[in-house]
Amino acid sequence: MYVQGPVLAHWLRFSSSFTSSATQQSVLGEKRTGSWLGGEFDGFVEREIERWHVPGLAVAVVDGERTFAKGYGLASISDNISVTPSTLFYTGSTTKAFTAAAMSLLVDNTSQQISWTTPLSSIIRDDFVLPDPYSTTHITIADALSHRTGMPRHDLSYGGGNATVRDVVRSLRYLPLTAEPRTEWQYCNMMYVAISHAIEVLTGEWLGDFLRTRIWEPLGMRNTFFDRDDALRYTDGRKDIVLAKGYFWNTTKYVEVPWQVFPSVSGAGCTISNVLDYTKWLRAMITRSGPISPAGHEALVASHSIPFPSEAPPFVGPITYGFGWELLVYRGHQIILHSGGVDGFGVLVAYVPRLGFGVVAMGNTGDTAGLAEQTVVFRLLDERLGTPEEERLDWDTMMRQALEYLKYLIATARYRLYPTIPSPPLPSTLQLSSYTGTYFHPAYHNITFKFNESQGRLFANVTDNTWTYDLDLEHISGDYFLGYLSRPAAAEGVLGAGKAEFLVGASGVVGRVGVQLEGQMGDELVWFDRLG
């Protein structure tokens, strides 16, 4: 699916129905002298990637001064190229930690005269404008980095092949806020794009260059890139390192996903790297070493917002969010982690600061790689923490039940969203073919509805945005419809279902269409005006 937040968020809302003794304090496993990878673990990984339909997975472990890494499955099905620790993957939202670290370097630089509490509008004044004047002038760097701005995702709105970082930031003025500043945690990729724009304005550099010279090169991360073409130039003609091909599973076979170029995503999620480079990043985070300052490290992993204030087993206490990192307590130990995903790729990074232990897994499907990585990473964490086998959570079952619940919500959407449909339903004001045409929203851009005569339905294929999607409309009653939103690369294809409504003017011509495209907006629709 579109650039994701933490994989944990997909199932945490359902986890309150599970109980587990895994919330207890762990008795630490014995310090391992051999490799964390190999033997029974290899069989476990192979079963997981088969279960979740992931062609290939790379896994690496940091254990003190030692590093272990291994590849499983295929980086390219058509070319029969195996995954190795050097294989490159898109790393999605794990980019956010780099972006936050880059900002920490600027906060440390006294000549920049900025702090975490500096309003973003004071840096990118003409571009950073929100619908609410108070939010515009008071949202700070820290607010944007910790997802507490009041702006929800609106992921389906932005981008397209020619969109720039500045274009995305300037579109925020047209997008509804759904909370007051600093009152709720709402994951928002676009705010990290705004941070990226601010960094580029402050430094006069492309963010990719700044990250390379100030963070990646000092850490020896020479296989990490901010642009697809840079990665392909680096791998051209080489056999020791390739960029994995991305895939999704269409219930019967793997379908290849084209490598994406999305400059408008920027610091929200466009890094390409491998598990070997990420172990260098993990070690810097674990040891709190340079190039990030001690104050910078402290800020990155402090609890700035609270995504889940209630206890969610198997974790103890609230789950909090720093700057590009989640923080949680598992079996008496703080774990710091973040996931990431774009079409065809998924990543999960986690570490236990107190134990000097970290894990990274990268796979080449979108949502389903994230599901496999969840089980693989926590298998290694449980091994390190010494969790008894009988006390380990069945992550596969939990996530499968979460997906089944999502299917249930979609299957029952008609009755939940429209509980009072008249019988028989009212006919539409006009023939359904009269609702076809192109409609425009200043942030969500164009949506063009066509009529499928054989199915008697309106549908739209939105291909110009960064995250493409299909919308299939089922007529409910009058000018009210149920919209099924789908993306092939999503774990189950269909992302969700929501309301849609057409407005017919006094002239008998359709003037507007409203669609539920942002879940945090509740019953409020995103309205598009008809063109022509």
CB 133 within 8 A of CB 498: no
* DSSP annotation of 150: S
Q: How far, in Å, are 42, 83, 225, 362, 427 from residue 271 at the CA level?
A: 27, 18, 6, 12, 50
Q: Given the structure tokens 């409910």, which residue do they identify?
A: 476
CA 140 to mean position of chain CA atoms: 22
Place of tokens 């990274």: 360
According to the model, what pLDDT value does residue 492 have? 59
Residue (of 82, 85, 55, 83) closest to 68 by Cα position? 85
Domain covering 413-530: architecture:
Beta Barrel (2.40)
- Predicted TM-score (pTM) of the model is 0.93
Instruction: Give the closest residue to 86 by CA, choosing from 297, 239, 268, 305.
Output: 239
Residue given tokens 């991360």 in the structure block: 221
Rounded Cα–Cα distance for residues 455 and 366 (Å): 30
- How far, CA to CA in Å, does 233 sit from each of 238, 260, 297, 342, 446? 10, 15, 33, 21, 34
The one-letter code for the residue type at 353 is P
pLDDT in tens, the chain (532 residues): 233 334 344 444 333 333 333 334 444 555 665 689 999 999 999 999 999 999 999 999 999 999 999 999 999 999 999 999 999 999 999 999 999 999 999 999 988 899 999 999 999 999 999 999 999 999 999 999 999 999 999 999 987 668 999 999 999 999 999 999 999 999 999 999 999 999 999 999 999 999 999 999 999 999 999 999 999 999 999 989 999 999 999 888 999 999 999 889 999 999 999 999 999 999 999 999 999 999 999 999 999 999 988 877 788 889 999 999 999 999 999 999 999 999 999 999 999 999 999 999 999 998 899 999 999 999 999 999 999 999 999 999 998 998 899 889 999 999 999 999 999 999 999 999 999 999 999 999 999 999 999 999 999 999 988 888 999 999 999 999 999 998 876 655 667 899 999 999 999 999 999 999 999 999 999 999 999 8
135 and 149 in contact (C-beta within 8 Å)? yes
pLDDT at 27: 47
List of residues 6+ apart from 378 with CB closer than 8 A: 393, 395
CATH no. for 8-110+196-408? 3.40.710.10
Provide the CA 321 distance to its chain's centre, in angstroms: 14
- What does each C-alpha distance from 8 to 4, 70, 90, 196, 337 come to in angstroms? 11, 24, 19, 25, 10
Determine phi and psi for 313, rounding to 5 degrees: -50, 140
**Spans of all domains in the chain:** 8-110+196-408, 413-530
For residues 459 and 439, give the distance between their C-alpha atoms in angstroms, rounded to a whole number: 13
- Residue (of 98, 81, 88) closest to 231 by Cα position: 88
Q: Do residues 149 and 304 touch, judged by C-beta distance below 8 A?
A: no
* Alpha-carbon span 60 to 33, nearest angstrom: 16
Q: Phi first, then psi: what are they for 359, rounded to 5°? A: -140, 140
DSSP H or E stretch at residue 71: strand 66-76
**3-state SS string over 223-238?**
CCECCHHHHHHHHCCC
Contact 282, 337 (CB under 8 A): no
Two tokens, residue 217: 């090169």
Task: Give the contacts of 429 (CB within 8 A, at least 6 positions apart).
Answer: 478, 479, 502, 504, 508
pLDDT score at 322: 98
> Directed axis angle between helix 367-385 and helix 395-411, to 10°?
150
What span, in angstroms and rounded, lies between the C-alpha atoms of 153 and 178? 10
470: three-class secondary structure by DSSP: strand
User: Could you give phi then psi for residue 59, rounded to 5 degrees?
Assistant: -130, 140
